């Protein structure tokens, strides 16, 4: 098929960009200002997913009603500003009824599958309302259920997409539509082979946008959020953080993987595979510009950014028998693999393996990493030590292994802190360390001052 829009752009709007009618209207203006934007991916309105997650944890009647009332107020504050609110009001009422029914079930029979079904309603509602806002501005907008295309496995709460199936489905269902209309769909949600709703983990709408960009070979993916780009660190922690105008895929991917919330950890993977530039900007201030992430940047600096990942657990496994390290390591990693432990950072001595476990990301909000089954299996082979309440701070840069003085620069201001673990050497481009969570912000501020200000 010949494409009418060969240079088409996917635009994703985060929660604050669709928080209320004025935000939606402003975001609709961004869509209409660029006629290459043919596919719009939306988050739930700000605060809605958190409310739905709480409901999915099984609340008693009074609390449940309160949360549902808050949800209704958020939706009706938008509906009441529409010129023709009646039809859309009925559709939203239907979804609010579903939410009430599912929230009651969550108290009686909670499950991660039910939780994903319930939580998906945030994106369903915001996308219906946004399509209506666009139509009232005379745009030809079509609502589309992303679950038809974002096909995943059944790891509820943090499902993984099947890339080739997503491509086939997108070509079959989305490609013809974007030639005819501006298609409005949901981020974050998908479906498994049994047709059950799944979610891609907290912040997953960014990932949906890049997955769809990859599937349809978009010319660019635009991520519209509440900050004017990607900064040297979270500007909420360090007011002096500076916007980075250009980033390489690998730099931005490391930032996202190591906790820079501005992008879901997996967002850059589809973009890298198909070399699709990703722009990040503020929907509240388009004139402020933003960050363009692309394959390469000119003169990549030694130090690029600092990221923080909270809720980290340090797991230490001590060998109790006189056995060669290779046997002990093989046994431990076999158990960790069997229990599908998500680990990205490991250090060791001859009789101990230490791992940093990440328990952020899943929609259900629970920590499923250290299950009883895993701990039982490990304890029968070794002595297990667990330390919680840690934060992982990552310095992201380029060729850090060649830079003399990198360790001095990094740890110089952290004298008074107990650094619990250091990871350096496996990657040339990042250096990570674990600290108690309560001192993480102070450490980021000090490190940022030394390296970036």
Residues near Mg ion (CB under 5 A): 14, 203
Q: Which residues contact 31 (CB under 8 A, 6 or more apart)?
A: 11, 37, 40, 134, 139, 182
Beta bridge partners of 39: 10, 183
Q: Which does residue 226 bind out of ligand ADP, ligand ASP, Mg ion, none, counting CB within 5 to 8 angstroms by kind?
A: ligand ADP
Nearer to ligand ASP, 49 or 75 (CB): 49
Contacts of 433 (CB under 8 A, 6+ apart): 392, 393, 410, 419, 420, 421, 422, 423
The residue nearest Mg ion at its CB is 203
Q: 104: burial class by Cβ within 10 Å (0-12, 13-18, 19+)?
A: middle
Closest contact distance (angstroms) between CB of 204 and Mg ion is: 8
C-beta of 154 vs 360, nearer to ligand ADP: 360
Query: Minimum Å distance from CB 293 to ligand ADP?
Result: 12
8 Å CB contact between 412 and 395: no
Nearer to Mg ion (CB atom), residue 271 or residue 382: 271
Distance separating alpha carbons of residues 423 and 304, to the nearest angstrom? 18
122: partner contacted, choices ligand ASP, Mg ion, ligand ADP, none (Cβ within 5-8 A by kind): ligand ASP
| Angle at 395 (CA atoms; ends 392, 397), nearest 5 degrees | 150
Residue the block writes with tokens 């380029």: 398
Q: Which residues pair with 303 in a beta bridge?
A: 397
Binding-site partner at residue 188 among ligand ADP, ligand ASP, Mg ion, none, CB < 5 to 8 Å by type? ligand ASP
- Closer to ligand ASP at the Cβ: 225 or 297? 225
* Residue 88 beta carbon to ligand ASP: minimum distance, rounded to whole angstroms: 20
222 binds, among Mg ion, ligand ADP, ligand ASP, none (CB under 5 to 8 A by kind): none
CB of 14 to ligand ADP, least distance (A): 2
Strand-pair category, 290-294 with 278-282? antiparallel
Q: How far is the CB of 366 from ligand ASP (least distance, A)?
A: 15
Minimum CB–partner distance for residue 190 and Mg ion (Å): 17
Name the residue among 305, 306, 304, 312 with its Cα closest to residue 392.
312
403 vs 431: CA distance, rounded Å: 12
Measured from the CB atom, the residue of 44 and 315 that comes closer to ligand ASP is 44
Q: Which residue has the tokens 């943090």?
A: 158
**CB of 284 or CB of 381, closer to ligand ADP:** 284
Nearer CB in complex with ligand ASP: 205/232? 205
In the bound complex, what is the minimum distance in angstroms from residue 387's beta carbon to ligand ADP? 25
Q: How far is the CB of 263 from ligand ASP (least distance, A)?
A: 10
Specify the residue, 17 or 198, whose C-beta has the smaller distance to ligand ADP: 17
Q: Report residue 5: phi and psi, to 5°.
A: -120, 75
Token digits of residue 23:
């935000």
Interaction partner, residue 16 (ligand ADP, Mg ion, ligand ASP, none; CB < 5-8 Å by kind): ligand ADP
- List Cβ neighbours of 36 (8 Å cut-off, separation of 6 or more): 5, 7, 8, 9, 219
What are the start-end ranges of the H helices in 2-120? 21-33, 48-56, 61-79, 86-108, 112-119
Residue 304 CB, nearest distance to ligand ASP (Å)?
A: 24
- Which residues contact residue 122 at a Cβ distance below 8 angstroms, ignoring those fewer than 6 apart? 43, 44, 45, 48, 49, 52
Strand ranges in 87-208 using DSSP code E only, listed in sequence order: 141-144, 182-186, 189-191, 197-199
Q: Which is nearer to ligand ASP, 14 or 397 (CB)?
A: 14
C-alpha 449: how far from chain center:
27
Q: Looking at beta carbons only, is 50 or 154 nearer to ligand ADP?
A: 50
Q: Per the structure block, which two tokens stand in for 294?
A: 């692309």
CB of 365 to ligand ASP, least distance (A): 10
In a 13 Å sphere around the CA of 339, the CA atoms on its Cβ side amount to 18
Q: Which residues bind ligand ADP (CB under 6 A)?
A: 14-17, 43, 203, 225-227, 230-231, 233-236, 255, 260-262, 305
For residue 272, the number of C-alpha atoms closer than 13 Å in the C-beta half-sphere is: 14
- By the criterion CB under 6 A, which residues form the site for ligand ASP? 14-15, 43-44, 49, 122, 187-188, 202-205
Q: Which does 202 bind (CB under 5 to 8 A by kind): Mg ion, ligand ADP, ligand ASP, none?
A: ligand ASP
Q: Which is nearer to ligand ASP, 58 or 204 (CB)?
A: 204
Residue 204 contact, options ligand ASP, Mg ion, ligand ADP, none, Cβ 5-8 Å cut-off depending on partner type: ligand ASP
Residue 260 binds what, of Mg ion, ligand ASP, ligand ADP, none (CB under 5 to 8 Å, by partner type)? ligand ADP
Interaction partner, residue 55 (ligand ADP, ligand ASP, Mg ion, none; CB < 5-8 Å by kind): none
Q: Where are the beta strands (DSSP E) in 201-334?
A: 220-225, 246-248, 278-282, 290-294, 303-319
Question: Nearest approach, Cβ of 235 to ligand ADP (angstroms)?
Answer: 6
């Amino acid at each position: 098929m010949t494409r009418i829009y060969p240079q088409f752009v996917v635009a994703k709007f985060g929660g604050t960009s669709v928080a209320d009618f004025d935000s939606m209207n402003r975001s609709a203006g961004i869509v209409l200002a660029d006629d290459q934007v043919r596919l719009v991916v939306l988050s739930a309105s700000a605060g809605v997913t958190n409310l739905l997650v709480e409901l999915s944890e099984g609340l008693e009647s009074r609390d449940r009603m309160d949360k549902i009332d808050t949800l209704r107020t958020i939706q009706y504050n938008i509906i009441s500003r529409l010129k023709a609110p009646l039809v859309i009001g009925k559709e939203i009422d239907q979804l609010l009824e579903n939410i009430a029914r599912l929230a009651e079930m969550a108290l009686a029979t909670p499950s991660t599958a039910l939780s994903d079904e319930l939580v998906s309603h945030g994106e369903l509602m915001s996308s219906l309302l946004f399509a209506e806002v666009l139509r009232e501005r005379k745009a030809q907008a079509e609502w589309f259920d992303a679950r038809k295309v974002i096909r995943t496995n059944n790891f509820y709460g943090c499902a993984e997409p099947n890339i080739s199936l997503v491509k086939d489905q997108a070509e079959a269902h989305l490609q013809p539509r974007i030639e005819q209309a501006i298609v409005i769909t949901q981020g974050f949600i998908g479906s498994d082979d049994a047709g059950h709703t799944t979610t891609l983990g907290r912040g997953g709408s960014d990932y949906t946008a890049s997955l769809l960009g990859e599937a349809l070979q978009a010319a660019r993916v635009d991520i519209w959020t509440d900050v004017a780009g990607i900064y040297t660190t979270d500007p909420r922690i360090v007011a002096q953080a500076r916007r980075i105008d250009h980033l390489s895929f690998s730099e931005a991917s490391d930032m996202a993987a190591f906790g820079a919330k501005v992008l879901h950890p997996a967002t850059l993977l589809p973009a890298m595979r198909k070399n699709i530039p990703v722009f990040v900007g503020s929907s509240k201030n388009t004139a402020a510009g933003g960050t363009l992430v692309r394959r390469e940047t000119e003169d990549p600096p030694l130090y690029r950014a600092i990221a923080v990942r909270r809720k980290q657990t340090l797991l230490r496994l001590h060998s109790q028998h006189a056995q060669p390290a290779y046997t002990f390591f093989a046994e431990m990693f076999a158990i960790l693999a069997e229990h599908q432990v998500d680990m990205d950072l490991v250090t060791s001595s001859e009789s101990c393996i230490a791992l940093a476990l990440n328990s952020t990301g899943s929609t259900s909000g629970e920590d499923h990493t250290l299950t009883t089954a895993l701990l039982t299996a490990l304890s029968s082979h070794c002595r297990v030590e667990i330390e919680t309440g840690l934060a992982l701070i990552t310095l992201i840069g380029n060729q850090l292994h060649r830079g003399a003085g990198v360790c001095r620069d990094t740890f110089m201001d952290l004298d008074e802190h107990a650094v619990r673990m250091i990871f350096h050497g496996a990657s040339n481009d990042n250096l990570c360390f674990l600290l108690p969570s309560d001192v993480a912000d102070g450490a980021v501020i000090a490190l940022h001052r030394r390296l970036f200000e």
